[in-house]
Structure formats: C-alpha cells, structure tokens
Structure 1
C-alpha cells in the first residue's frame, strides 16, 4: 500500500454526538468529491490499555465526552495536499464547520484535536 493518510483524534460531548455525526457524514462526502480515497471516523469504545496513554488522555477528553478516531486516505502526500487545499476552499466546509466551533458550547475544539499526516510503514 502506498497511500498517504491524515489521522486525527478529538473529543466530542456525548450529548452532541449525533450532531457531530451528521456533520461528519457531509464532510466525508466533500472530501471524497475532491479526491480522498476514504474518509472514516469511529467512536472510542475500549480505548484504555494499562501502562499506555489513552486516546482520551491525548485528546484531553472530559467525563462527558467521547473520543473520535478517524483518518482520510489519499493516493499520495501530493494528492493529500491538493485535496485538502480544494476542501479548504469549498464554501460548504465553512457552512458545516463554523457552527461546530463558534457556539457558546462548541462541539469541536480544534485545540484539543490530535492530528498528523502519515506515510506507509507496514
């Protein structure tokens, strides 16, 4: 496999999970329209292993939050850069993301999101 991925972990308030899911489903379609091969997000279910740092700790998740783990797959890093540039310029993204981050109780806190681009190893 020679794909490149962007991976991310972020906390979401439990009582806002359905709203987050609705937005994530729309965001996934936009990323794929612009060339992403896959867009997946999962809700943490069993994220603790004794002796390790958990995803909850990494994302500074509070008791009333769940942890989302996701990734977007691309053909290459160059393709990722192009797709992400197109997504950032897509006006639908502003309409979708702004309400999540700019409310009195944000659903998405970018400062607590853990993110990175990854090349294949195994």
Structure 2
C-alpha cells in the first residue's frame, strides 16, 4: 500500500493530447523504474460543481485545452524524494521533454506531495 502520493493537475492543448499521451506513458515507465509503485493520469470530463472552485479556474485553462489529473504513488516520502532525484537526473526524461510537441507547460501545473490521512 502506498503511503505517499505526488498529485498534479495541468492543461494540455486539446489538439496535442495524443502527443502528450506518448510523453506520459514513457514518463510513467521511467518513474516506475526508479521506485514509483504506480503512476496514473486521467483526462478531465466533469470539472465544475456549483459552490466549488474548479481546476479549470485555478490553472486558467482555455476552451482549447483539456485538464490532466495525475498521481504517482510511493512507499514513503523518502522513497518519493529518492525517485524524483533519479528521474530528474535520468537523461531519458530530458530527451522526452525536449523532443515533445505536447504543449505541456510545467509552470501551469498544480503540484503537491501528500502523506496518507488514513
């Protein structure tokens, strides 16, 4: 069972979702190789609920963008920190990001690490 999760939400241009999917699948494999227990990403399709703030508002997404929500599970925060160091140093990640035409912009990503509540 995972005890620590990194969570994230960000927009991707709707027209580039296919390119982003390839990037995400390759990144998931690299994260798992470096210690992630699981890596998942989902495309938003029901993002507004009366009385709440939406992810759309928080990332200032346009009608031409879709929102991606994802999480990466780890055994512990220490395992997460070590995996993230390894991923950041992995030349395959740099090559993926540099060669991608996905429209992903890290500066628009909401991100955080979370410990288990129960």
What is aligned with 2:84?
Answer: 84
1:56 aligns with 2:56: yes
- Post-superposition offset of 1:65: 0.1
* Separation in 2, partners of 1:38, 1:2: 9
Segments of structure 2 that go 5 or more residues without pairing to the other structure are none
How far is the alpha carbon of 1:98 from its aligned partner? Answer: 2.1
CA-based RMSD? 1.3
Q: Distance in 2 between matches of 1:86 and 1:108?
A: 21
**Worse-matched range after superposition: 20-29 or 2-11:** 2-11
Q: Indicate whether 1:117 and 2:88 are aligned.
A: no
Q: What TM-score do the two structures reach when normalised by structure 1?
A: 0.92
User: Displacement of 1:25 after TM fit?
Assistant: 0.3
Residue 49 of structure 1: how far off its partner (Å): 0.3
2:38 paired residue number: 38
Paired residue total:
118
Unaligned runs of 5+ in 1: none
Question: What is the distance in 2 between the residues matched to 1:113 and 1:23?
Answer: 16
Instruction: Could you list the structure 1 runs, at least 4 aligned residues long, displaced by more than 4 angstroms after superposition.
Output: none
TM-score by length of 2: 0.95
Q: Deviations over 1:43-102 (max 9, x none)?
A: 0010110111111111111110000000000000000000000001100000001234xx
- Whole-angstrom CA distance in 2 between matches of 1:3 and 1:9: 20
